[in-house]
Amino acid sequence: MNKNSSNNIRVAKNTLFLYLRMIIVMIITLYTTRVILNILGFEDYGVYNVVCGFVSMFAFLNTSMSNGIQRFFNFELGKNGVNGASKVFNTAILIQFILAVVIIVLTESIGIWYLHNKMVIPDERMLAAEWIFQLSILSFLFIIMQAPFTAAIMAHERMDFYALVSVLDAVLKLGIVFAIPFFPGDKLIVYSILFALISVLNFIIYGYYCKKQFSEITLNKQFDKTLFRSMLGFSGWNIFGSISGVMKEQGINLVLNLFFGPVVNAARGVAHQINAGLQSFVSNITTPVRPQVVQSYARGDYNRTMKLTFSVSKLSCSFLYLCSLPVVLEINYILHIWLGNNIPEHTDTFVVIVILISFINNLNAAVSGVIHASGKMMVYQTVTSFISILCIPASYFGLKYGLAPEFALLMVFLWTSLAQVAALFILKNIVTYSITDYVRKVLLPIIILILVTFWPSLLIQSFMKEGILRLFIVGSVSVIVVALGIYFIALNKSEKSLINSFLAKLFTKGSKTK
């Protein structure tokens, strides 16, 4: 088996680990939310969420920095091996320490003022809110300092360990929920203390594992000024992109609120919740591939870089279609089961448009992965961010002249699509590839897949009465038909070979363990 085939098998295996992680964590998290709501009550649970939510507003700074660390770790590991990765680790520790200091200054000044002057919290729960605030900052600081270790685990593609710790994290959070009644004192404060301790434990586990497993995880006094500037510059453009993303999301929310009030905002919120659930399935495809994209680029293997990019673009959209088709067809019944009769107007159409936007975002994720690998972020972030934000004035003028609220989301879809087209041309200046090949190998198979496979489920839906039986049959048929369509229509020969090899290896291992 050649090196690329071995790498492909590892990608498939890591994807399986991440799917198992996601399913287990999702089930535990949903149950944990239900239990903690019963224990704390609506008011205390609301106080906890609003205070933690304020602290998490600063998370985009850490996310942008973490993405930069991940890129440089993958790049140096692929190009210069352990020595290069060691420099990145030590530089990342310094950068994250600086970020932690900035977060402390911002939260302990602006945050404290906002907590006492703007947040609507009952007077008798203000002490608990102050405890939550400080413990949330503590948790966040450990998450910030954990980023270099997480980057090392991702770069070495140890998704099995990452999945295991994620499951342990979810189990511990469920455990503390059941433990709270046995502790004396304020339940909300106890919950906040135990929750913060889990963040500390996660940091210790990640640090200990990386220290034992990876030789580059060693603190030393070496300081590479050039690397420091490069990482800060890269992360700076990431922050710029993150800020423009927040502006776009909040801008559309404000425009909708201006013309239609909070009910339409609620409809959009529900639509995004559904889409987030669907997208969590798809993200498990891109996560294990990204380290190999960066490392292939670092080695100068641009052919493999683009081959992986084409494959992950096609597969992420195909799997989003697999998950979303039954949801789109049965959206009214699903909303009725979930929300009863309290369904905000426009929710059903919002769900469909938000999923369409998600298709474009999945195409963009693979392309941006290559641009991240190159480190040439300025033009990409500037152009795509500017184009994407144009949806806000376009929506405003359309709604001002009496168009329906769906117009605003359609504008997001339109300008996001144009930003993706621009990203394809920007990519041509970084890596030599053919846009015609991209259309032929990525877009065309997805379009054919959709046109061929949505008919059976649509026909069944049209002949059956709405209900749980139709939901089950439509869902089952759509998943089977689309899965077969992905294999026989969307996948090329090498991708089919990868799937076949992985399944053969999986079943062989299974038979040996019996």
At 398-415, the pLDDT tens digits run 999 989 999 999 999 999
Query: What's the pLDDT score for residue 510?
Result: 46
Q: What is the pLDDT of residue 452?
A: 94
Above 80 in pLDDT, residue 2?
no
Mean pLDDT of 62-77: 74
Distance CA 161, CA 210 (A): 11
Q: CB within 8 A of 252, min separation 6: which ones?
A: 268, 391, 392, 395, 408, 409, 412
* pLDDT for the residue numbered 359: 92
pLDDT interval class at 514 (50, 70, 90): very low
| Position 416 in a domain | no
Q: What are phi and psi of 430, to 5 degrees?
A: -110, -45
Is 58 inside any structural domain? yes
* Contact status, residue 285 vs residue 312, Cβ threshold 8 Å: yes
- Averaged pLDDT, 210-237: 78
Does residue 12 surpass a pLDDT of 60?
no
Domain that holds residue 139: 1-223
Does 51 or 503 have the greater pLDDT score? 51
Average pLDDT of the chain to the nearest whole number:
81
Q: Does residue 54 form part of some domain?
A: yes
Is 194 in contact with 180 (CB distance < 8 Å)? Answer: yes
Total structural domains within the chain: 1
Within a domain: 143: yes
CB atoms within 10 A of CB 67: 21
Structure tokens, 263: 């009910």
Mean pLDDT of 338-358: 86
The region of weakest confidence among 37-51, 287-301, 333-347 is 37-51
Q: How confident is the model at residue 351 (pLDDT cuts 50, 70, 90)?
A: very high
Of the listed ranges 6-20, 225-239, 315-329, 365-379, the least confidently predicted one is: 6-20
Q: Is residue 103 part of a domain?
A: yes
Residue 121 backbone zone (phi > 0: left; psi -120 to 50: alpha; other: beta): beta
Confidence of residue 54 (pLDDT cuts 50, 70, 90): low
243 inside domain = no
C-alpha 253/C-alpha 246 separation (Å) is 11
Q: What is the pLDDT of residue 25?
A: 67
| Percent share of the chain, pLDDT over 90 | 22
Task: Give the C-alpha separation, 228 to 243, whole Å.
Answer: 22
Q: Read off the pLDDT of each residue in 181-201 and give the average, rounded to a whole number.
A: 86
Average pLDDT over residues 61-89: 75
- Predicted pLDDT at 427: 92
Percentage of residues in the chain with pLDDT exceeding 70?
A: 83
Q: Which residues of 217-231 are buried (b: 16+ CB within 10 A; e: fewer)?
A: beeeeeeeeebbeeb
Tokens of 141: 């600081």
**Higher per-residue pLDDT: 294 or 358:** 358
Q: Among 270-279, 324-333, 351-360, which stretch is predicted with the lowest mean pLDDT?
A: 270-279
All residues at 6 or more sequence positions from 158 whose CB lies less than 8 Å from its CB, including other chains: 213
Banded pLDDT at 502 (limits 50, 70, 90): low
List all residues 6 or more positions away from 28 whose beta carbon is below 8 Å from its beta carbon: 167, 170, 171, 173, 174
Instruction: Note whether residue 282 is domain-resident.
Output: no
pLDDT at 5: 53
Which range has the worst mean pLDDT, 32-46, 152-166, 238-252, 479-493? 32-46
166-170 average pLDDT score: 83
What confidence score (pLDDT) does residue 334 get? 87
Query: Would you place residue 421 in the very low, low, confident or very high pLDDT band (cuts 50, 70, 90)?
Result: very high
**Alpha carbon of residue 115 to chain centroid:** 29
Would you state the pLDDT for residue 474? 92
Please indicate whether residue 3 or residue 28 has the higher confidence score (pLDDT): 28
pLDDT of residue 286: 67
Q: How confident is the model at residue 40 (pLDDT cuts 50, 70, 90)?
A: confident
With respect to residue 352, please indicate whether it lies within any of the assigned structural domains: no
Res. 321 pLDDT band, cuts 50 70 90:
very high
Q: Is the pLDDT reported for residue 467 higher than 50?
A: yes
The secondary structure of 476-514, three-state, reads: HHHHHHHHHHHHHHHCCHHHHHHHHHHHHHHHHHHHHHC
Q: For position 60, what pLDDT does the model report? A: 62
CB 9 within 8 A of CB 501: yes
